[in-house]
Amino acid sequence: MKAVAYPAFALTAFQSRLVYRNQVWASAFGDLVSIFARIAIWTAAFAGASQVDGITLPEMVTYALLSAPLLYWEYARVLYDVGDAVRTGDVAVFLLKPLHYPSYLLSTHFGHFAFELIAVVVPVALIVGFTVGLLPPASFFHGLMFFPYWAVSWLILFTLACLCGLIAFWLLTAFSLEWFLMAIMSLFSGAIVPLWFLPTPLATLFGYLPFAWISYYPAAVYLGKLDRTASWLHLGIGLIWLGLLTAAVLVLWAKARHRLIVQGG
Amino acid sequence: MTKIVAAADVRKIFRQPKRKPGLGGALTGLFSREFTEVRAVDGISFAIKAGEAVGYLGPNGAGKSTMIKMMTGILVPSSGDLTVLGRVPHSHRMINAAEIGVVFGQRSQLWWDLPVRDSFELNRHIYDISAQRFAENLARLTAMLDMVGYIDRPVRQLSLGQRMRAEIAMALLHDPKILFLDEPTIGLDVVAKDVVRKFLAEINRQRGTTIILTTHDLVDIEEICPRLIMVDDGKLLFDGELRHLRATLGNRRRLTLEFATDPGPIALKTAELVADEGAAKHFLLEKEHTSILDVLTELGSGHNLTDIKLEEPNIEEVIRTFYQNKPSLAGARA
């Protein structure tokens, strides 16, 4: 098959989301509530101070929007998709076609993400921007740098969700894993609390784990909290993590496929 | 004609962990594992030529789906040789997948939320079908399977019969050389079954697409497949034409003679008396080529015969007899 099929999957996933228009309102509303709740918490925590640990309140508002709906997207869909396909044996349907399942997943979920970005995240950002106000990138360099960070963030979250979905093949349930992943990631990624507010030992540890590249580093780069050298260095480390996670997904998929075709699931 | 599927002594043995009941059992299962062996396919050999339509028949758990999965390359045989289109299916999964079509009666391949047409369009990309060939095939299949009325409706709104027709059409868009169907008529109503059967028979006869289908519905076999492979407990019971199965089993035609008055006992060489109700007598014809005329000639005139009824053995009866007499008939070939 030609690689042209993969963009077609993304487009199809995008179109399939148009069917459930009510979901758009529900998730936009959910995201707004979550952002305004975090803005309220930060406003209270700052208690009128102009800055805390060198961070201003407007920076925290921008961080709240960047970290959660944008960077920390709804990865649970990937996890359920993989988990269900593996548990019910529907994954056989993909094996019957001349296509590569992980690539199929990647393109499909990119389609879902593109839909959420356009239908949910952008309107939410506009609402937050016009009501509370959002900051532009700290500099032109940081603004440009945000895009490769964003790509790495997206792919790391995708590979982590795939890994958990694939592990379901051995544990035969994705449910407990999802809670496990959710708890770890919301803390380790900095999606709720940025690492700069954590105690130094924890922040240092979390700063080296791949989760930090999901929300914390991209948002920190956008806000100019990393200088040029640190920005390039951390992008490199992020890419190494991405390489390792991708390799892990491919190995696990090969194992799952082997088990599926040898033991019949 | 060339062999396109060849199976030689193919076996598939599944190792299933023994589970002890209860929580304690689940916990011990985590540490020590005992396995039971399940022989799903146990030494099956057959060869299928291009253009054949073969019905793979057996009761639930006979190993039908396992065999289909091995032929489509998504399951590896434990031992034996299996080639499809000259290749070992599982080690050439991608190439094999591009040349076969597969329909699972109990698993949908259509995109649930989107119109049927969009799923077809996606398959065009997956199988890299040229626009012209796609348009031709789509038009032909839409007309043959009467899908015009619902091709633009989302799959979730379709009836099972409509969906199954769409599944079959989708599996044929890329002109596969072999079409595998795992229980294609399961759950369909009489009309929908009929449409599916007629269509499959037609593409097999007219376009020469090789068809291999599993079923436990005998009518599927009667209407689509001249050739029948019967399995049970993973073993081959019969491989040959349906009419030969009747001959092999010696299922005989039943002749009923009705008289105006009881003619008294009648003994014939050409037919065996099996039930005597006085004025109505039931015979089984001894041989396949025995005609009613032979019987009537032997009977002679002067019996005041009022009615004659000749019944072919019903295929369900044939198969039932087969499975009941299985141990003595195992390995029968025609």
B273 and B210 within one domain: no
Q: With bands split at pLDDT 50, 70 and 90, how would you rate the model's confidence at B16?
A: confident
Q: A132-141, B114-123, B296-305 — which is least confidently predicted?
A: B296-305
Q: A251-265, B59-73, B202-216 — which is least confidently predicted?
A: A251-265
3 state SS of A208: helix
Nearest CB neighbour to B74, from listed A1, A19, A261: A261
Nearest chain B residue to A97, by CA? B97
In chain B, how many domains are there? 2
Vertex A101 angle, CA A96 and A106, to 5°: 150
B321 compared with B117, residue with greater pLDDT: B117
pLDDT of amino acid A173? 56
Q: Quick check: B6 pLDDT over 90?
A: yes
**Model confidence pLDDT, tens digit, residues A101-159:** 999 999 999 999 999 999 999 999 999 999 998 999 999 999 999 999 999 999 999 99
Q: A74-78, A202-206, A231-235, B139-143 — which is least confidently predicted?
A: A74-78
**Subunit contact A95:B118, Cβ cutoff 8 A:** no
pLDDT of amino acid B333? 42
B301 and B189 within one domain: no
**What secondary structure letter does DSSP report for B50?**
T
Please check whether residue B330 lies inside any domain of the structure: no
Q: Which residues of B touch A19 (CB under 8 A)?
A: 113-114, 154
* Chain A contact present for B93, CB below 8 A: yes
Produce one character per residue of A209-222: b if its CB has 16 or more CB atoms within 10 Å, e if not.
Answer: ebbbbbbbbbbbbb
Q: Quick check: B210 pLDDT over 70?
A: yes
Q: Which CATH number does the domain housing residue B223 bear?
A: 3.40.50.300
3 state SS of B217: coil
Residues 6+ apart with CB under 8 A from A240: none
Q: A15-19, B14-18, B275-279 — which is least confidently predicted?
A: B14-18
Tell me the C-alpha distance between A206 and A213, whole Å.
10
B171 and B116 within one domain: yes
Average of pLDDT values for A20-39? 89
- Tokens at residue B272, please? 């065996």
* Chain A contact present for B66, CB below 8 A: yes
Q: Quick check: B37 pLDDT over 80?
A: yes
Average of pLDDT values for B55-82? 89
Q: Quick check: B141 pLDDT over 90?
A: yes
pLDDT of amino acid A127? 93
B175 and B305 within one domain: no
Q: What value does the mean pLDDT of chain A take?
A: 89
* Chain A contact present for B99, CB below 8 A: no
Among residues A211, A219, A153, A213, which one has the least CA distance to residue A185?
Answer: A211
Q: Which of B223, B247, B271 is the last residue of a domain?
A: B247
B155 and B76 within one domain: yes
Q: Quick check: B52 pLDDT over 90?
A: yes
Q: Domain limits at B287? A: 252-312
**Subunit contact B76:A8, Cβ cutoff 8 A:** no
Percent of chain B topping pLDDT 70: 88
Tell me the C-alpha distance between A85 and B109, whole Å.
12
B261 and B178 within one domain: no
A128 compared with A169, residue with greater pLDDT: A128
Tell me the C-alpha distance between B151 and B162, whole Å.
9
Q: Quick check: A265 pLDDT over 60?
A: no
Average of pLDDT values for B12-36? 73
**What secondary structure letter does DSSP report for A69?**
I
B209 and B134 within one domain: yes
B113 compared with B129, residue with greater pLDDT: B129
B272 and B167 within one domain: no
Please check whether residue B173 lies inside any domain of the structure: yes
* Chain A contact present for B64, CB below 8 A: no
* Chain A contact present for B90, CB below 8 A: yes
Q: Which residues of A touch B90 (CB under 8 A)?
A: 261
Q: Quick check: B87 pLDDT over 70?
A: yes
**Model confidence pLDDT, tens digit, residues A48-69:** 888 888 899 999 999 999 988 8
Tell me the C-alpha distance between B64 and B80, whole Å.
17
Q: With bands split at pLDDT 50, 70 and 90, how would you rate the model's confidence at B282?
A: confident
- Ramachandran angles phi, psi of B212, nearest 5°: -125, 115
Q: Domain limits at A38? A: 5-263
Among residues B72, B71, B74, B57, which one has the least CA distance to residue B185?
Answer: B57
**Subunit contact A96:B72, Cβ cutoff 8 A:** yes
Among residues B121, B218, B130, B125, which one has the least CA distance to residue B166?
Answer: B121
| Complex ipTM over 0.85 | no
8 A C-beta contact, residue A248 and residue A161: no
Contacting B with CB below 8 Å, chain A residues are 1-2, 4-5, 8-9, 12, 15-16, 19-20, 89-90, 92-93, 95-99, 260-264
B61 compared with B224, residue with greater pLDDT: B224
pLDDT of amino acid A219? 95
pLDDT of amino acid A200? 92
In chain A, how many domains are there? 1
Calculate how close chain B gets to A1, using CA atoms only, in Å: 5
Q: Which residues of B touch A4 (CB under 8 A)?
A: 125
pLDDT of amino acid B330? 47
Residues 6+ apart with CB under 8 A from A9: A104, A107, A108, A111, B122
pLDDT of amino acid B305? 84
B99 and B145 within one domain: yes
B272 and B179 within one domain: no
B284 and B187 within one domain: no
8 A C-beta contact, residue A96 and residue B94: no
Among residues A29, A44, A37, A61, which one has the least CA distance to residue A134?
Answer: A61
Please check whether residue B43 lies inside any domain of the structure: no
Tell me the C-alpha distance between A43 and A41, whole Å.
5
pLDDT of amino acid B316? 67
Task: State the distance between the two ends of chain A, measured CA to CA, in whole angstroms.
Answer: 26
Q: For residues A238, A243, A244 and A249, what is the CA-based torsion angle, rounded to 10 degrees? A: 120
Residues 127-186 of B with CB under 8 A from A: 127-128, 154
Residues 6+ apart with CB under 8 A from A51: A57
Q: A76-85, A177-186, B242-251, B304-313 — which is least confidently predicted?
A: B242-251
- Ramachandran angles phi, psi of B131, nearest 5°: -60, -40
pLDDT of amino acid A175? 59
Q: What value does the mean pLDDT of chain B take?
A: 85
B182 and B73 within one domain: yes
Please check whether residue B125 lies inside any domain of the structure: yes
Burial, B79: exposed, middle or buried (Cβ in 10 Å; 0-12, 13-18, 19+)?
exposed
Tell me the C-alpha distance between B83 and A261, whole Å.
16
* Chain A contact present for B74, CB below 8 A: yes
- Tokens at residue B107, please? 């698993």
Q: With bands split at pLDDT 50, 70 and 90, how would you rate the model's confidence at B31?
A: low
Tell me the C-alpha distance between B201 and B240, whole Å.
18
pLDDT of amino acid B264? 81
8 A C-beta contact, residue B212 and residue B179: yes
Average of pLDDT values for A34-48? 90
